[in-house]
């Protein structure tokens, strides 16, 4: 097989994996989206588990699910996404300890996100990568809100899915590296600049690393809308936390994650809103 045939075969494979044959045009949307929603609920259930265990250094793959209060191993009846929480009225079935709203809200949020992805991108490889991104970002959001950290394992997951997404869509190193380098420079300037001007830390190194990782998904030109919407979401988050009397300090990672996901999901969003 000559070099031209290799390139043609790779281009054809990339087209099939990106756009695929399994698009929603071939299936009744009313039949597909409920299944996608259910898958999203299951992904949300994984997020609630991972976001609880990662900051504690616990295994997220082989250890069975259990109640953190009574340590009872949980079964299918206890773990069915969303419905178990509703059926048991937000309590553990065994010890009756309260189960927080983080569980149903996270599951519902991922279910909706998966449906939006499927509606926009069909059942394609791009949609799968975007679903993985949404799952990783959801873990990041919950952990940062609760512990003010962004786990390195989440950063790696976002990086690997981003590189795969960009390469499968025809980007090369000359397209990806400027975004990652630019994101890192912006993060470092914001981190040290704020310390120099205000004598306090406003952007942690987890956020700095995430700005670099975001460049694996976003071209450098898209950093303007990315940072713009990050600022808007950050202001909104700060106002909510102040209204709830949770202090002025709040994590900026969730704002970065939400803005990045919107800019990846709808490229050129700022231009569309301005037109």
Tell me the DSSP string of 212-266: HHHTTTS-GGGHHHHHHHHHHHHHHHHHHHHHTT--S---SHHHHHHHHHHHHHS
The first and second tokens of residue 165, run together, are: 């997404």
What is the Cα–Cα distance from 107 to 34, expressed in whole angstroms? 14
What is the Cα–Cα distance from 243 to 33, expressed in whole angstroms? 36
Confidence category of residue 158, pLDDT binned at 50, 70, 90 = very high
Other beta carbons within 10 angstroms of residue 114's beta carbon come to: 26
The first and second tokens of residue 194, run together, are: 């704020």
What is the Cα–Cα distance from 118 to 104, expressed in whole angstroms? 21
Confidence category of residue 236, pLDDT binned at 50, 70, 90 = confident
For residues 134 and 251, the model is more confident at 134
Average pLDDT over residues 70-98: 84
Average pLDDT over residues 223-232: 91
- Over residues 2-47, the pLDDT tens digits come to 554 545 544 544 554 455 444 455 566 677 889 999 999 999 999 9
pLDDT beyond 90 at 95: no
CA angle at residue 212 from 206 to 218, to 5 degrees? 130
Q: Are 213 and 177 in contact (CB under 8 A)?
A: no
Residue 119 CA neighbour count, 13 Å, CB half = 11
What is the Cα–Cα distance from 170 to 222, expressed in whole angstroms? 17
Closest CA to 226 of 261, 260, 199: 260
Listed ranges 34-43, 97-106, 201-210; the one with the highest mean pLDDT: 34-43
- Partnered with residue 66 across adjacent β-strands are 73
Mean pLDDT of the chain, nearest integer = 85
Confidence category of residue 66, pLDDT binned at 50, 70, 90 = confident
What is the Cα–Cα distance from 274 to 5, expressed in whole angstroms? 44
User: pTM to 2 decimals?
Assistant: 0.86
Average pLDDT over residues 170-190: 93
Q: What percent of the chain has pLDDT over 90?
A: 49
Domain ranges of the chain: 20-150, 171-275
CA angle at residue 130 from 230 to 86, to 5 degrees? 85
């Amino acid at each position: 097989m000559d070099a031209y045939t290799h390139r043609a075969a790779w281009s054809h494979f990339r087209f099939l994996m990106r756009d695929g044959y399994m698009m929603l045009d071939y299936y009744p949307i009313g039949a597909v989206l409920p299944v996608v929603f259910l898958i999203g609920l299951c992904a949300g259930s994984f997020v609630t588990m991972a976001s609880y265990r990662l900051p504690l250094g616990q295994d997220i793959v082989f250890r069975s699910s259990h109640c953190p209060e009574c340590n009872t191993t949980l079964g299918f009846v206890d773990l069915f996404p969303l419905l178990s929480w509703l059926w048991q009225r937000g309590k553990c079935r065994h010890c009756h300890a309260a189960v927080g709203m983080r569980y149903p809200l996270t599951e519902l949020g991922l279910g909706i996100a998966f449906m939006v992805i499927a509606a926009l991108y069909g059942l394609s490889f791009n949609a799968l990568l975007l679903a993985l991104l949404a799952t990783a970002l959801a873990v990041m959001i919950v952990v940062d809100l609760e512990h003010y950290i962004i786990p390195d394992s989440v950063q790696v997951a976002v990086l690997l899915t981003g590189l795969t997404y960009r390469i499968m869509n025809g980007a090369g190193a000359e397209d990806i590296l400027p975004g990652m380098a630019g994101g890192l420079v912006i993060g470092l300037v914001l981190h040290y600049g704020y310390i120099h001007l205000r004598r306090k830390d406003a952007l942690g190194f987890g956020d700095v690393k995430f700005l670099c990782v975001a460049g694996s998904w976003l071209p450098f030109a898209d950093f303007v809308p990315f940072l713009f919407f990050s600022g808007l979401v950050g202001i909104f988050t700060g106002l909510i936390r102040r209204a709830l009397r949770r202090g002025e300090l709040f994590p900026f990672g969730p704002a970065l994650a939400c803005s990045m996901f919107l800019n990846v999901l709808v490229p050129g969003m700022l231009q569309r809103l301005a037109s």
